[in-house]
Amino acid sequence: MERGGKEAQQYVWDGAIPLQIHLHDSEVTTLPPPAPALILAPRIGYLPLLSPQLKPFFSGALPPGVDTVWFDYKGLPLKWYIPTGVLFDLLCAEPERPWNLTVHFRGYPGNVLIPCDGEDSVKWSYINSLKEAAYIIHGSSKNVMNMSQPDQIDLWRSVMNGKLETYNRISSKLKLGIVRDDFSAKLNPSSSKIQHSVDETEATAAPKASRIPVRLYICNVDEDFDDFEEELHFDSWDQISYINRPVEINGEEFYPNSSNTIKAEFKNEPGIEAEEESKTGIIEGTSIESVESQSLSGQPVIKLVRIQGIEPKSEIPFSWVVKNLMNPDYFLHICLYIKAPKPLDS
Amino acid sequence: MASNQATCDGSLSLIDFQIAANDFAEKWKKFNSAYPEWLWIDCSNRLGFAAHGVIDGYLSLQNVFIRRSLEEERDEGGCNDDEEPFDNATLSTSDDGDQYHFHVVYSPSYRVPVLYFHVQNTDGQPLNLDEIKTNLPTKSAKVLLESKWTFITQQEHPYLNRPWYMLHPCGTSEWMKLLLVGVDNSMATNGTERYMISWFSVVGQVFGLKLPFEMLKSIG
């Protein structure tokens, strides 16, 4: 990601996952069974929003009854309120293209998944996350709650249809600009003057000590997981830890780098002291010795970090990552594969 | 060290939450012994290691049997004597009520405790939201639920990967601020302990659970 300005955000919004969707065997009533549907799913979107596109493929084959759509990946029911790109980054260590999913129209697993009644449920979940992000950033959700009806509808539609310009126009009214991003200005010196003044406006809306909405999805892998060809199979969501906790960063002039921020975050350490941090390189264990010493010293080793399908270089300032890789709900969704340390001898 | 924050803006830090939760559980055990105990469920190990200094867990109260209110009790409404805490919720000591589980989970986003709950009937079937609302024991519960500050929604339990019901936290700091207003700052050390008891005195009412007078008195 070598560009600043709006290009990175556009790149993220244009991102899509090719899906190959199969109807579950138990719901096939025709012979031959229907062919799988090939669909491009926006990274920043949500799976239930695909159902209007999917139904024509399968409606002829379904048993009679009421449709309630849900998806699974190798038997794992997919949480519909998690953005599609995040699900893909998390569940496919080695990216599978196309991503093979199974769709169901019956037998909704209500003991595992919260109910979804189609677009309205997804919209409610999105607005709810946006309110939570606003609360984290400003200490109040008022900006979001006071949005006019037309604005709310247009904002949601811009997310559904991937219209970044509309989205930026409406969301800028919410004044959720989090951190000043001088890194982009440095990358684009010619536009830095304009960029800087835009960022000034955003920065004045946010307090100096900032809280950043972050959602971490952490998967524990065992020792031998160095070769991503090895398939990581998820039988249940209990194998993944979900941490919905804001990151706190202090000061506008300070640009903690991503690796230290992420590392500190899941160790629940407030504040970042990037410059003091030793460079033993917890990220992507650079050498066998450093990896082993991390384990023996009781430190977890981060094997993989994925944000919007990207593995960010550890030198990239966290502020840049936040500004450009966040989802439309103003949350930064981070997938982490970590190797737990060996237990220390007592 | 307990901070004064709780009395200032209606919110609570994570560390203060743990202190307050512990205190709450102890006082409950002492003054509310007819109910099961609150237990702290520790989750610090869920990443496969206990990251240093991390507090991760929640308060759990399981197997509270609440008998469904009869029509007459519901119509009575009105205020109840603080000395008779079980007026509104007919606590059942046998298995003939709906079975409730309550979890108090800290929200780092809203910086307040959040009440999650799960209900099943005598046949072990989970109740849906309409059934739950219909069976809530008191008029005041319904008033609370109609307010914009406390409403029930179904969300995924942050630790259990299952849908649970919860009282949405977005209004909590607002009404906690009002509840704690006028607290003498010289009693600042009490702010944290006061928080959980005050908080529960409101949310518990949704289910007709009132705190015993002695417990309320203990925070001055």
CB B168 within 8 A of CB B110: no
B34 touches chain A (CB under 8 A): no
- Of the candidates A113, A267, A343, which has its C-beta nearest B51's C-beta? A267
- Which tens digits make up the pLDDT trace of A256-301? 555 556 666 555 443 333 323 333 333 333 333 444 444 445 667 7
Do A119-205 and A5-104 have the same topology in CATH?
no
Quote the pLDDT of residue B10. Answer: 86
DSSP secondary structure string for all residues of chain B? ---SHHHHHS---HHHHHHHHHHHHHHHHHH-TTSPPPEEEE-TTTTSS--TT---EEEEEEEEEEEPPPHHHHHH-S---TT-TTSSSEE-SSS-SEEEEEEEEEETTTTEEEEEEEEE-TTSPBP-HHHHHHH-S-HHHHHHHHSTTS-EEEEE-TTT-SEEEEE-GGGHHHHHHHHHTT--GGGGGGHHHHHHHHHHHHHGGGGT----HHHHHTT-
Å between A287 CA and nearest CA of chain B? 22
Question: What pLDDT score was predicted for residue B52?
Answer: 55
Model pTM score: 0.83
Distance between CA atoms of residues A216 and A75, nearest Å: 23
Residue B212's pLDDT is 86
Q: Which CATH class is domain A5-104?
A: alpha beta
Closest chain B residue to the Cα of A213, Cα to Cα = B109
Give B154's contacts in chain A (Cβ within 8 Å): 114-115
Contact between A112 and B48 using a beta-carbon 8 Å cutoff? no
pLDDT along chain B (220 residues), means of 10: 58 90 92 90 76 77 80 43 43 71 95 94 85 76 72 91 91 85 54 85 85 80
pLDDT 10s digits, A44-81: 999 999 999 998 888 877 877 778 899 999 999 999 99
Closest listed residue to residue A91, CA positions, set A337, A339, A330, A341: A337
Say yes or no to pLDDT of A158 above 60.
Answer: yes
Reduce the DSSP state of residue A96 to 3 states and report it.
coil
Of residues B136 and A170, more confidently modeled: A170
Work out the pLDDT band at A84, boundaries 50, 70, 90.
very high
pLDDT of residue A112: 92
Single-letter code of the amino acid located at A34: P
Contact A176, A133 (CB under 8 A): yes
Asked if A103 and A54 touch (Cβ cutoff 8 Å), the reply is: yes
Q: Phi and psi (nearest 5°) for A215?
A: -125, 125
Distances (CA, A) of B164 to A241, B60, B118, B151: 17, 13, 6, 14
- Of the candidates B56, B154, B162, the beta carbon closest to that of A112 is on B162
Residue A337 to residue B40: CA distance in whole angstroms = 28
B54:A220 CB<8 A? no
- How much is the pLDDT for A221? 80
Nearest one of B191, B172, B175 to B183, comparing CA atoms: B191
Average pLDDT of chain A to the nearest whole number: 79
How confident is the model at residue A29, as a pLDDT? 85
How many angstroms separate the CA of residue B54 from the nearest CA in chain A? Answer: 6
Tokens of A58: 């399968």
A119-205 CATH pick, 2.40.50.100, 2.60.120.480, 1.10.246.190, 3.30.470.10: 1.10.246.190
pLDDT tops 50 at residue A170: yes
Instruction: Give the confidence band of A189 by pLDDT, cuts at 50, 70, 90.
Output: low
Report pLDDT for A228: 56
Q: How far is CA A309 from CA A33, A103, A259, A286, in A?
A: 33, 23, 16, 21
**Who contacts B120 (Cβ-Cβ below 8 Å, separation ≥6)?**
B98, B99, B126, B127
Assess whether B43 carries a catalytic annotation.
no
Strand ranges for A80-143 from DSSP E: 99-104
Q: Does domain A211-339 have CATH number 3.40.50.920?
A: no
Cα Rg of chain A, angstroms: 21
Residues 120-139 of B with CB under 8 A from A: 126
* CA distance linking residue A320 with residue B141, whole number of Å: 47
A272 CA: distance to closest CA in chain B (Å)? 16
Model pLDDT, residue B94: 57
- What pLDDT sits at residue B163? 94
Tokens at B4, concatenated:
């004064």
Tell me whether residue A17 is exposed, middle or buried, using C-beta atoms within 10 angstroms of its C-beta: 0 to 12, 13 to 18, 19 or more.
buried
Count of A-B CB contacts under 8 Å: 66
Give the closest-approach CA distance of A127 to chain B in angstroms.
Answer: 13
Of A68, A52, A28, nearest to A77 (Cα)?
A68
Which amino acid, B216?
Answer: L
- Residue A268 with chain B: CB contacts under 8 Å: 51, 53-56
Does residue B113 have a cis peptide bond before it, meaning omega lies within 30 degrees of 0?
no
**Once rounded to an integer, what is the mean pLDDT over residues A14-36?**
91
- The average pLDDT across A164-179 equals 89
Residues facing B58 on adjacent strands: B41
- The whole-angstrom distance between residue A178's C-alpha and the CA centroid of its chain comes to 17
- Do B49 and A298 count as a contact with CB atoms less than 8 A apart? yes
Burial of B52 (0-12, 13-18, 19+ CB in 10 A): exposed
Strand ranges inside A229-295, DSSP E: 240-244, 247-250
Locus of tokens 């539609």: A157
pLDDT the model gives residue B110: 94
- Among A135-149, A160-174, A220-234, whose mean pLDDT is lowest? A220-234
Write out pLDDT tens, residues A201-210. Answer: 444 444 456 8
- Give the end-to-end CA distance of chain A in Å, rounded to a whole number: 45
Residue of A nearest to B111 (CA): A136
- Dist CA B120 CA B118 (whole Å): 7
Average the pLDDT over A225-254 and give the result.
74
pLDDT at A214: 93
Among B47, B52, B55, whose Cβ lies nearest the Cβ of A218? B47
Q: What percent of chain A has pLDDT over 70?
A: 71
Per-residue pLDDT at A3 exceeds 70: no
What mean pLDDT comes out for the span A125-138?
Answer: 95
Asked if B101 contacts B117 with a C-beta cutoff of 8 angstroms, the reply is yes
Domain boundary assignment for chain A: 5-104, 119-205, 211-339
User: Which chain A residues have any C-beta within 8 angstroms of a chain B C-beta?
Assistant: 79, 110-115, 131-132, 135-136, 139, 141, 213, 218, 220, 236-238, 241-242, 244-246, 266-269, 298, 300, 338, 340-341, 343
Q: How far is A123 from chain B (nearest CA, A)?
A: 15
